[in-house]
Amino acid sequence: MRPAHPLEQAVGIEHYVSDTDGVGGRLRASDADFRVRELERFSTESLEATTDAYPHLVVRATLSGWDTNDFVSRLSDALGMSRRRVSWAGTKDKRAITTQLFSIYGAEPADLPEIRGVDLEIVGRAGRALEFGDLAGNAFELAVSDADRPENAPAITDELRAFADADGDQIGVPNFFGQQRFGSRRPITHEVGLEIVRGDWEGAVMAYLGGPTASEPEETQAARAFVEETRDWQAALERFPRGLGYERSLLHGLAESGEGSAPTQETFRAALERLPDNLQKLFVHAAQSYAFNLILGERLERGLPFDRPVEGDVVCFADRQAPEGLALPDVGREQRVSERRLRSVTRHCERGRAFVTAPLVGTETDVAAGEPGEIERDVLARLDLEPGDFDLPDDHHSSGTRRAILVTTELETEADPLSLAFSLPKGSYATVVMREYLKVDPIDLG
């Protein structure tokens, strides 16, 4: 197998599954080169529905150059309401043209503002706010700029079709967590999470503050090196650039609480908990994602299939309510694969009715049996983790779940310029498909 880029290896993605040289180039040369449309499954009523029973106005927004969170802040400010009254099913990137649903509690169509780079379509009313589960997946239309070898795309497609043992226009790739999960330029969120899970709050804080990387400005590298060497929180504050707000928040907390005494593990935990709740959750999730990527890499190394189970695997079944043409796993419906069941479950996988899974480890994780279970236990031992370690305070706690190890999709390609269109279930990364085609530095994948 072809080795992955070093930045990808740092987050547990060890290989490509296609051996053909990549087409090169980059994604997101412009917003229009990266188009994302939500695959919705959210029911609405007409605008004439009563607002007492259906208080949420639902709109479909097409955003150009807007991060979802920034757009919500701009929208709620224009409406003169708390941003907590605006809900959505999935967060999208800024450098793209994205189409997604939003629900707005207590808003009327006439209230909607005009915002540059935003097109709002009124959909109807709903009795509840949008939630993450209301997103089935995303459809992508992606253009590759400055491709060096666009003629290699068909051969890569053939290899990805063979990997998934698929027919027609369908391809498959390992369902890795992409680079964005860990930080594209400074992939350290999983390192912070691993220290949290191990109970080393000091190690978690220092993983976030220290570890200078060549991709950062020299001033930032020097500040990180200084805090690693000296642990002088107040002096480090004077060196960290103003733009590194989260790092400065940690340093403020340590400087304020550490006066006159050496900081304790509780001091470091309190400093880390100054960060936004969603970022704190991301740390532990990234640690789970890193372990998941390593499990998939070991399965590749051992030559075990991804499209069908072996004895000991845990499979989940397809979501019966998924939009037509989208292979959406339902991890709430699991089954262990015994020798007796292997043949029948294999048929379900071949027909797209079941999916082999691996764990996102948490307190309730029960590892697989047989060789898959051996892989899962080996990776956890390598990371010095066990399920009980995820019994953590507050937002850091995780009970765990499972995730399909293969993602498949129907692929459409155009040659001039090279562009690819496909759909993925929620939680899967378009860049995990595109990395097989470009084989470039992950930064060029956006």
> How many whole angstroms separate alpha carbon 224 and alpha carbon 218?
10
- The size of the chain, in residues, is 446
- CA dist., res. 438 & res. 144, Å (int): 8
Nearest to 291, CA basis, from 425, 204, 171, 198: 198
> How far apart (Å, rounded) are the C-alpha atoms in residues 234 and 13?
38
Of 93, 119, 366, 395, the active-site residue reads: 93
- What sign has the CA pseudo-torsion 5, 198, 206, 225? negative
Handedness of CA 376, 378, 383, 389 (dihedral sign): positive
Tokens of 72: 């919500």
Give catalytic status of residue 93 as yes or no.
yes
- How many Å apart are CA 275 and CA 263, to the nearest integer? 18
Q: Chain centroid to CA 253: how far? A: 29
Active-site annotation, residues: 93
